[in-house]
Amino acid sequence: MTLRRLALTNKKVRNIPRRLRALAAWAADFDGYFPEHLTAQQKYSNWKIPVITSLVEGKQATTAIRKECAQSMIDAVHHLIMARPKDALDCRIVACICLPSMFSSEICIYTDLEYHRSHIPSADSGSVENTMSLAADWGLVLPEGVKERGLSYMTEDWDDQPYEEHQWYFGEVD
């Protein structure tokens, strides 16, 4: 099992290839797997990206590392889509890739279509459709059935300073 950890120091990240292999193995574990316990009342289930914070955020995080992490999440979404049982067709499966705070990225299974549409901000809610394609920019491979939608919006950090956040949704997006 790959662990999700906060980096409390600014030390150099060690064993990056091993960490990326573990993330790819985590994504491969979704091959043929679909959670059985999901109900419409739950509305959604999610998995956060299982990495150490400094691997995807901060001065040591590189675009190449972030790209591999994003591709693993897209692969996991594709495995979930392919493993979904026929009686679960009303659910939506997406990976949300967040930048600059990639540690908050996650894979979600929405069992309620209205909740799915309300969770992903609409264009008239202060969000702006992002014209940049993360898949094209980073050279991500989108398997069949996986679409991309990007949003940009202004938000505030913990000390009320505004900053721009970008979110890309990969999977079954409207």
pLDDT in tens, 16-37: 899 999 999 999 999 999 998 8
Mean pLDDT, range 114-127, rounded to an integer: 72
Q: Is the pLDDT of residue 121 over 70?
A: no
Domain presence at residue 71: yes
pLDDT above 90 covers a percentage of the chain that reads 51
Q: Is the pLDDT of residue 156 over 80?
A: no
Question: Is the Cβ–Cβ distance between 2 and 51 less than 8 Å?
Answer: yes
Domain presence at residue 72: yes
Q: How high is the pLDDT of residue 9?
A: 62
Domain presence at residue 7: no
Domain presence at residue 11: no
Q: Is the pLDDT of residue 5 over 60?
A: no
Q: Is the pLDDT of residue 54 over 80?
A: yes
Q: Positive or negative CA dihedral for 115, 49, 87, 92? A: positive
Domain presence at residue 22: yes
92: left (phi over 0), alpha (psi -120 to 50) or beta: beta
The CA-based diameter of the chain, rounded to the nearest angstrom, is 48
**Domains: count for the chain:** 1
123 SS3 class: coil
Domain presence at residue 2: no
Mean pLDDT of the chain: 87
Question: Is the Cβ–Cβ distance between 72 and 23 less than 8 Å?
Answer: yes
10 compared with 80, residue with greater pLDDT: 80
Q: Is the pLDDT of residue 89 over 90?
A: no
Q: How high is the pLDDT of residue 158?
A: 79
Q: Is the pLDDT of residue 1 over 50?
A: no
Domain presence at residue 9: no
Q: Which domain range does residue 151 map to?
A: 16-171
Confidence of residue 118 (pLDDT cuts 50, 70, 90): confident
Mean pLDDT, range 58-72, rounded to an integer: 93
Q: How high is the pLDDT of residue 106?
A: 96
Q: How high is the pLDDT of residue 49?
A: 94
| Structural element, H or E, at residue 116 | helix 113-119
pLDDT above 70 covers a percentage of the chain that reads 90
Domain presence at residue 92: yes
